[in-house]
Amino acid sequence: MISVRTLPTSRAMATYMMSSRHILQTSRTIIPRKQQQIFQKQHQYRQFTTDKTVKDSTVTSAGSSSSSGSSSGSSGWWKSPEFWGGLGAIAGWGMSGAAIYDASLQGPEVISLTMTPVLMVYSTLFARWAWVVQPRNLLLMWCHVANVAAQSNQLRRALEYKRANGQEKEVNEMLQTVAKVGAVTGVAIVAGPKIRSALTNMNMGIVSSIAAAPAGPFTVHFWAPMSKWFISGASFLDLDRPTDKISLPQYTALTLTGFFFTRYALLVTPINYTLCSVNIALFVSSAWHLGRKIKADYIDGDSNNDNKKDNE
């Protein structure tokens, strides 16, 4: 039998259990709601932070792109090899066009059998250089290809003229010289890469470094400007040339070519200091002759004309 004294205790236990269940159910309902509210607030904060970061990054990137665009627009041409190479090619086309035009007007008796082959070699080397240099300069390459064709035609005219005038011996000597130079050049072209590789692998200090240089003596990057040294050197040997024998268009083109290629040589890959130096020399010598020509024709000439008018 159950004691009467135990009844209140049982009722208290039942009441306690019912209240605890109510509290548990209430807590299960309240806690998820609070967690959901906290999660929603965290999500809203993260979304706000993300949107703000995206806006800030967009503004920053837009500002940087606009500043870089303005800076590249203001200084890009100075560091552009395409720009300077294009100007140099245009000046080269002007010189080649003038040479072709003069060749069509002059007789074969004035054609030099010494300078014409040199110009052919010079343009052949520079046509090859314009093809392999980075960035490739097709406008310059075709300029020199056209000059090779023009000089080849000049050489043909000169040889036919001399043979027609009984100078067969001179023609044969010239052809023998060209054949010897061609044979030596062919051997150098074939053996050059092997000699370069052997010198590089010998680890001979500066000799190996020079042989392995990307613009060293075993590459066209070296020999193209060297051929220009042989041509440009004539200007230094004739600084007192009479002004009536100086062509204003020709020396204007030479001066511009020297200026353009001085900058262009420092922007191509590989950088060509030999080409830069020879064009500095070309610019200085051509500008000297050009200044003398302008002074003689337009400054001294005008002053002489004014004196004559005053005397009259």
Per-residue H/E/C for 267-292: CCECCCHHHHHHHHHHHHHHHHHHHH
Instruction: Examine the pLDDT at 242 and tell me if it is beyond 80.
Output: yes
Tens of pLDDT along 149-194? 888 888 888 888 888 888 888 888 888 887 887 888 888 888 888 8
How confident is residue 54, by pLDDT bands cut at 50, 70 and 90? very low
Instruction: Return the CA Rg of the chain.
Output: 42
Q: Answer yes or no: are the C-beta atoms of 221 and 235 closer than 8 Å.
A: no
What confidence score (pLDDT) does residue 153 get? Answer: 87
Does pLDDT of 81 surpass 90? yes
The confidence score (pLDDT) of residue 49 equals: 54
Residue 13 has pLDDT above 70, yes or no: no
pTM given for the model: 0.67
Residue 11, pLDDT > 80, answer no
The closest alpha carbon to 278, from 234, 312, 216, belongs to 234
> Where residue 4 falls among pLDDT bands split at 50, 70, 90?
very low
Q: Are 213 and 197 in contact (CB under 8 A)?
A: no
Domain boundaries, the chain: 80-296
Contact criterion met (CB below 8 Å) for 153 and 116:
no
Report the distance separating Cα 145 and Cα 128, nearest Å.
9
